[in-house]
Amino acid sequence: MQYTYNPKGVCSRQMIIDVENNIIKNVKIVGGCAGNTQGVARLVQGMNIDEAIKRLKGILCGDKGTSCPDQLARALEEIKKSA
């Protein structure tokens, strides 16, 4: 199933996440630092949602109090709640 998340407090504007049976199939991050967001998206592909949350949650970008990886973890938490 495809989910759309609008991150807060970071440069990226949207995250489109495909999840099937608790496994991340694909992530597209719109905006943000292209190399970093593409790298994160590819690294989590095929990963269990819980493992991705564990690895990404709490990562900070400068003094923003969050980051694109942290926002992706938050999006995944919302997906888990809605399932």
Which of 29, 28, 4, 19 is closest to 51 using CA atoms? Answer: 19
Confidence tier at 21 by pLDDT (50, 70, 90): very high
The pLDDT-based confidence of 34 (bands split at 50, 70, 90) is: very high
The CATH number covering residue 37 comes to 3.30.390
In the predicted model, what is the mean pLDDT of residues 18-43?
97
**Mean pLDDT computed over 3-8:** 98
How remote is the C-alpha of 34 from its chain's centroid? 14
Residue 70 · residue 60 · CB < 8 Å: yes
Range of the domain at 72: 2-82
Return the SS3 of 32. coil
Tally of structural domains, the chain: 1
